[in-house]
Amino acid sequence: MAGKMAYRLKVVRSLMPYTKGVKRFFILIFISSMISMALGFAGPLFYRLFIDRVILGGCFGQMPLVAGGYLGIFFLDALLAYARKYASYALVNTTAYRVKEKIWQGFFARPFESYESEGIGDMKMRLEDDTAQIERFAGYQTIDYLISVATLLGSALLLFAIEWRLALFSAIAIPLTFWAGGALSEKERRLNDANRETRQVFSSWLHASVQGWREVRTLGIGLSQERKCLWFLHRFALFNAKWINYWTARVLALPQIKEELFQQFGLYFLGGLLIIQGRMGIGSLLVFVMYHGMLSDALETVSGTDAELWANKPFTDRLLEELGRKAQPQGEGRALPDEGNETVFEQVSFAYPGMEREVLHDFDLTIKKGERVAIMGRSGSGKTTVLKLMTGLLRPTRGRVSFGGVDLEEISLPAMHARIGFVMQENMLFNTTIRENLLYGKDGASEEEMMDACRKAYIYEFIVGLPEGLDTVIGERGVKLSGGQRQRIVLARLFLRDVEVFVLDEATSALDQYSESIVYDAIRNIPEDKTVIIVAHRESSVALCDRRVEITG
Ligand SMILES: Nc1ncnc2c1ncn2[C@@H]1O[C@H](COP(=O)(O)OP(=O)(O)O)[C@@H](O)[C@H]1O
Ligand SMILES: [Mg+2]
């Protein structure tokens, strides 16, 4: 229990920075819960008055007091419950919003290497399932827990004050409840841990299958995809079946047994004996039973919150991990000189993590400002790797890469990326309008500027010919465009952004000769003073360049 308490505090502390401005809601929930607890204790007193005075004592004059007290408590409690719900939603929504914002920002501030190892499923789990845990800490895991501990102690004291022998009898339930809750929650935790893992894999798989529907259809692997899906669904069904067993035992069956055994049988039977012996009044027994009900509920909450805290640890742990993640400093690092964008590789060697073979070994290269360089080499020789090293997406194992005279280890990457533009073979467009895709190049660009960039990239005619022009939605991965049109829109975006270095990685490899020649025309429109680096198989691209570099890795 102490370990769980420490863990609970750790979670609360981590969430604290995200509750600025809404902490008052937490206080509101706390105060309202305290009042409700006090009202809960007051209820049975009126009941005792009703039994002992009104019914047994015949004092019907006290009836209005009893009824008034009861109604008052009822309405006040309903009002407080309303305020609590309201405050709890305000608190949870605001906190969750900020936490998700932080996770999302964190995703784009990670070291570049980490993207390769984590898929979309991981992000989905972090943003949705893991953050769902926040809700529990705005009330259930914190205030309800505290209030229930207080109620537990308060009602235990009252029970002992009313009739200590009966109280002792009902106290047996306390250790039993904690023991059973603890044991079952450990099983739930293991199950959730495995299930979270599977769900993450499933999300990534699902995403890839839906996005790759063309491959699935044309390769005729629909049936095997279906089997794979069924396999996942089967796993989830098994999980649900197991989990519901533990949950039912912990939340429904055990409390039921305790209630029936202790309260219904034990208390009334033993209480009845005490009444026969003249040691206890009927009113007292009834009040005892009511307080015992409170104790029972509080006990259920205390052991239930502990159990749930433990069962959901796999999710909360990931949430803590994400909140504790140090963001890679953005925009920090040495500023670039205004002029000069010379790229220099000095004795660079590189091997992918976990790979023996070096893709590059003692590689030297200098690309001066305004040069046009063709990087050639057979497939797999390391051309893309050179580009990734050049732009800081990978870091050399040995040696040094610099841009504008500044070592990439020290450079401000965002500042550097503002001056380098990429066109790659695979698609770089988002599923939205052409306009919005262009605006990613330069926020707030005017219609005039956009059209000008489109003209340079030889895509203007095409766009104005579309019924919806710039507002045409281009579909998932730009499916509504041809390969050449896509690449020219990407180029237009770079013209708009006015980058100094154009990097084209097999930008025309997938195009037919005609489309390629138009893209080449667009490349010829790149102003003289800009640097152009073209990776290509075809000799035709070499004609665009002053110099060729062979990669022989
Ligand atoms: N993320 C990676 N992890 C491990 N090996 C990689 C990775 N990316 C590329 N490689 C390997 O590095 C070599 C060079 O790849 P790449 O630079 O993409 O070649 P190119 O662009 O010249 O076709 C290839 O043998 C490739 O298999
Ligand atoms: Mg490549």
In terms of domains, do 353 and 496 share one? yes
Please state, in angstroms and rounded to a whole number, the distance separating the CA atoms of residues 213 and 209. 6
Q: Which ligand is nearest to the CA of 378?
A: 1
Contacts of 301 (CB under 8 A, 6+ apart): 144, 145, 148
Q: Is 116 in the pocket of ligand 1 (CB under 6 A)?
A: yes
Closest approach atom of ligand 1 to CA 383: 22
What's the one-letter identity of residue 534? I
What backbone phi and psi angles, to 5 degrees, belong to 332? -85, 180
Contact 463, 470 (CB under 8 A): yes
For 308-356, the DSSP string reads HHHHTHHHHHHHHHHHHPPPPPSS-SBPPPSS---EEEEEEEE--TT-S
Q: Whose CA is nearest to atom 18 of ligand 1?
A: 384
Q: Whose CA is nearest to atom 25 of ligand 1?
A: 380
Residue 485: both structure tokens together: 């049109």
Domain that holds residue 355: 343-550
Angle at 333 between CA 331 and CA 337, to 5 degrees: 95
Residue 300: both structure tokens together: 């259920």
Other beta carbons within 10 angstroms of residue 48's beta carbon come to 19
In terms of domains, do 126 and 260 share one? yes
Q: Whose CA is nearest to atom 11 of ligand 1?
A: 380
In terms of domains, do 315 and 380 share one? no
The CATH number covering residue 505 comes to 3.40.50.300
Helix (H) and strand (E) counts for the chain? Answer: 22, 9
Q: Among residues 430, 426, 428, 429, which one has the least CA distance to residue 509? A: 426
For 401-453, the DSSP string reads EEETTEETTTB-HHHHHTTEEEEESS----SSBHHHHHHTTSTT--HHHHHHH
Please state, in angstroms and rounded to a whole number, the distance separating the CA atoms of residues 135 and 29. 13
In terms of domains, do 312 and 366 share one? no
Of 324, 352, 374, the domain-final residue: 324
Q: What is the largest CA-CA distance in the chain?
A: 111
Residue 198: both structure tokens together: 């599977």
In terms of domains, do 243 and 389 share one? no
Of 275, 294, 324, the domain-final residue: 324
Contact 491, 523 (CB under 8 A): yes
pLDDT value of position 500: 92
Q: Is 385 in the pocket of ligand 1 (CB under 6 A)?
A: yes
Residue 7: both structure tokens together: 């863990």
Of 324, 352, 376, the domain-final residue: 324
Contacts of 226 (CB under 8 A, 6+ apart): none
Q: pLDDT 10s digit of each residue in the chain, 553 long?
A: 778 899 999 999 999 999 999 999 999 999 999 999 899 888 888 888 888 888 888 888 888 888 888 899 999 999 999 999 999 999 999 999 999 999 888 888 887 777 777 778 888 888 888 999 898 888 888 888 999 999 999 999 999 999 998 899 888 888 888 898 889 999 999 999 999 999 999 999 998 898 888 888 888 888 899 999 999 999 999 999 999 999 999 888 888 887 777 677 888 888 999 999 988 888 888 889 889 888 988 999 999 999 999 999 999 999 999 888 876 655 567 777 777 789 999 999 999 988 889 999 999 999 999 999 999 998 889 999 999 999 888 889 999 999 988 898 888 888 888 899 988 887 778 889 999 999 999 999 999 999 999 999 999 999 999 999 999 998 876 778 888 899 899 999 999 998 999 999 988 888 888 888 888 888 888 998 999 999 987 777 888 888 999 888 7
Q: Is 425 in the pocket of ligand 1 (CB under 6 A)?
A: no
Q: Is 277 in the pocket of ligand 1 (CB under 6 A)?
A: no
* In-domain check, residue 461: yes
Closest approach atom of ligand 1 to CA 379: 23
Residue 34: both structure tokens together: 């305290």
In terms of domains, do 104 and 241 share one? yes
Please state, in angstroms and rounded to a whole number, the distance separating the CA atoms of residues 78 and 291. 20
CA of 541 to the centre of ligand 2 (A): 15
* In-domain check, residue 212: yes
Q: Among residues 376, 407, 414, 374, which one has the least CA distance to residue 502? A: 374
Q: Is 379 in the pocket of ligand 1 (CB under 6 A)?
A: yes
Q: Is 393 in the pocket of ligand 1 (CB under 6 A)?
A: no
* In-domain check, residue 6: yes
In terms of domains, do 292 and 377 share one? no
Residue 130: both structure tokens together: 């893991």
Q: Is 383 in the pocket of ligand 1 (CB under 6 A)?
A: yes
What is the sign, positive or negative, of the torsion defined by CA atoms of 445, 447, 452, 455?
positive
Around ion ligand 2, which residues have CB less than 5 A away? 384
Contact 323, 102 (CB under 8 A): yes
Q: What is the DSSP letter of 508?
A: T
Please state, in angstroms and rounded to a whole number, the distance separating the CA atoms of residues 408 and 410. 5
Please state, in angstroms and rounded to a whole number, the distance separating the CA atoms of residues 106 and 123. 11
Find tokens 């051309």 and name the residue: 383
Domains of the chain: total: 2
pLDDT value of position 320: 92
- The 3-state DSSP class for residue 553 equals coil
Please state, in angstroms and rounded to a whole number, the distance separating the CA atoms of residues 217 and 199. 25
Mutate to test the pocket of ligand 1, among 384, 397, 424, 426 (most ligand atoms within 8 A of CB): 384
Q: What is the 3-state secondary structure (H, E, C) of 258-314?
A: HHHHHHHHHHHHHHHHHHHCCCCCHHHHHHHHHHHHHHHHHHHHHHHHHHHHHHCHH
* In-domain check, residue 335: no
* In-domain check, residue 331: no
In terms of domains, do 358 and 437 share one? yes
What's the one-letter identity of residue 61? G
* In-domain check, residue 338: no
CA of 386 to the centre of ligand 1 (A): 10
pLDDT value of position 237: 95
* In-domain check, residue 369: yes
In terms of domains, do 234 and 371 share one? no
Q: What is the 3-state secondary structure (H, E, C) of 160-200?
A: HHHCHHHHHHHHCHHHHHHHHHHHHHHHHHHHHHHHHHHHH
Residue 344 CA, chain-centre distance (Å), reads 39
pLDDT value of position 329: 58
What Cα–Cα distance (Å) separates residue 316 from each residue in 247, 322, 393? Answer: 19, 10, 31
Q: Which ligand is nearest to the CA of 386?
A: 1
In terms of domains, do 410 and 373 share one? yes
Q: Is 255 in the pocket of ligand 1 (CB under 6 A)?
A: no
Contacts of 357 (CB under 8 A, 6+ apart): 351
In terms of domains, do 355 and 305 share one? no
Q: Which ligand is nearest to the CA of 352?
A: 1
The CATH number covering residue 27 comes to 1.20.1560.10
Contact 289, 47 (CB under 8 A): no
In terms of domains, do 107 and 255 share one? yes
Q: What is the DSSP letter of 52?
A: I
Contact 499, 421 (CB under 8 A): yes
* In-domain check, residue 334: no
